[in-house]
Amino acid sequence: MERNDIIDFKSLEKELQGALAADEKYKRENAAKLRAVEQRVASYEEFRGIVLASHLKPLERKDKMEGKRARPWNCYTSQGSTSQDQATEIFQAKPLLQPETSAEFYRDWRRHLRSGPERYQVLLQLGGPKLGHLFRMDVGFGLLGELLVALADHVRLADRVAVLGILRSLASTGRFRLNLSLLSRTERESCRALFQKLQAMSAPRPTTEGLQPEERDLEEQSAGPQEKLLQELLELYQVD
């Protein structure tokens, strides 16, 4: 066998182990991101901490802390890592967007937000007013449907008011009716499902028996604005 035909099995094994480790790290950190989003962490620092500590495992009874530690408890945040490595970790872990233009939003939405929970969380954190400002001229071809799908798949009762605000802001954007008419059949079904969920989340009307007239009026007025807005949105989004 010629010298150039000799296979370096050690090199191949090392390369394979590196690829497996990188794949495992990606899956572990992605699972941590989804878990942090579902837990609705209070700050980005808390989110980042969950992701960077995703490789840690709980101690068992047989585990002992004897002698000096040969390595820090969290190697991903040690001082030995370079600033470039830390910046990369932050960028990969950060699900939040702070776009200043609709083009920046569209770029980051497609490039960095692949999962539904991440997209939904970003929409909530930007909120209706910010989204309305970004898309005041136009939502952009195909994007309105993706926004509606993300909302429909992950809307929760606790977010009902925020989602209604987002829908109202989107309905006030430029060329809204045109973008609405361009929704695919699947996106149209998601839009209808979203409003069905919002209707089902309507607060049950409490019994007014035994209440004073003033208290009865307050109970009736408290649910009024949300339900009125929902009815207006049903017409704007042309939901049967």
- Alpha-helical segments (H) within the chain: 9-39, 44-52, 83-93, 102-111, 116-134, 143-154, 160-171, 176-181, 185-200, 213-222, 224-236
- Residue 213's identity, in one-letter code, is P
pLDDT at residue 217 in the model: 55
pLDDT at residue 27 in the model: 78
Among the listed residues 120, 130, 136, the one whose alpha carbon sits nearest the alpha carbon of residue 99: 130
pLDDT digits (tens, 9 = 90+) for 83-132: 444 433 433 444 467 888 998 898 889 888 878 999 999 999 999 999 99
| % of the chain residues with pLDDT over 70 | 64
Flag whether pLDDT at 2 surpasses 80.
no
pLDDT digits (tens, 9 = 90+) for 186-239: 999 999 999 999 999 885 555 545 555 555 555 555 557 889 999 999 999 999
Mean pLDDT of the chain: 76
Among the listed residues 95, 169, 186, the one whose alpha carbon sits nearest the alpha carbon of residue 131: 169
The ranges assigned to domains in the chain are 12-51+84-93, 100-204+222-240
HSE-CB of 20 using CA atoms within 13 angstroms:
6
pLDDT digits (tens, 9 = 90+) for 26-71: 777 777 777 777 766 666 666 666 667 666 655 555 555 555 555 5
Q: Please check whether residue 97 is in contact with residue 105, taking contact to mean a CB–CB distance below 8 angstroms.
A: yes
